[in-house]
Amino acid sequence: MKTSSIQVLLVEDDESMRLEFESMVTTHPKLSLVGSVATLAEAKVLLHHTIPDVAIIDLGLHDGDGIELIKTLQQQTFPTAVLVATVFGDEAHVIRAIEAGARGYLLKDTSIVDFARAVELVHAGGAPLSPQIARHLLKRFEPAEKSAVQAGPDSLTLREMDILKHISQGFTVAESARMLSLSSHTVATHIKNIYSKLAVHNRVEAIIQARNKGLI
């Protein structure tokens, strides 16, 4: 097993897709496979003796709904970051998964390279979304945006705008700090200020709000 690697659990009932994910994880220098199962029941058994860093979960499992497993993982003392991999791109599935605690949501037509990158992003606190999924979330948040305090480009400083663009592209606090030649603490402080000005509570909401207002 690779030292200090991201421990990944796969829950996928499509055998060909699961094998592709397994290959992605086992050949990636930063990822390690701690389990690969096809059912909800198998996943629950495995979770009795291992806590993965990231779980790639299909929603449409033969023996149940992947949402149930997402909720279980979020109840752990150290919650597992969940990346949904599914064919379900409709608004109902997207919202249920996000509300259950999924940090990223990608459709299965996403390239395997992008999936590998997404695993790293969710582990670092990012929120990778397929474009179709982002559109659903924009629609979902539209009523709240109309009643929220309106933010214009001049309400954010140039530095805040730079950081907002970086986090919208999926970069972590540490990566943004390195690229902008700032400390991680400074970037984190700016992000808190951005959240406050946009009247949001997390990265996904900030990206949605900023895109809807034409800030990024």
- Find out whether 151 and 184 touch, Cβ atoms under 8 Å: no
- In this predicted structure, which of 8-17, 144-153, 166-175 has the lowest mean pLDDT? 144-153
Residue 62 class from Cβ within 10 Å (0-12 exposed, 13-18 middle, 19+ buried)? exposed
Query: Looking at per-residue confidence, does 57 or 132 come out higher?
Result: 57
Per-residue pLDDT, 17: 93
pLDDT band at 53 (very low <50, low <70, confident <90, very high): very high
Dist. CA 145–CA 118, nearest whole Å: 27
Indicate whether 1 pLDDT > 70: no
Per-residue pLDDT, 71: 92
Question: How many Cα atoms occupy the beta-carbon half-sphere of 41 within 13 Å?
Answer: 2
- Residues 104-144: pLDDT tens digits? 999 888 899 999 999 999 998 888 888 777 776 666 655 44
Whole-model pTM: value is: 0.64
Per-residue pLDDT, 136: 66
Average pLDDT in the 137-152 region? Answer: 51
Structural domains of the chain in order of their starting residue, each with its CATH number? 6-131 (3.40.50.2300), 148-212 (1.10.10.10)
Dist. CA 137–CA 129, nearest whole Å: 10
- Find out whether 114 and 106 touch, Cβ atoms under 8 Å: yes
- Structural element, H or E, at residue 106: strand 104-107
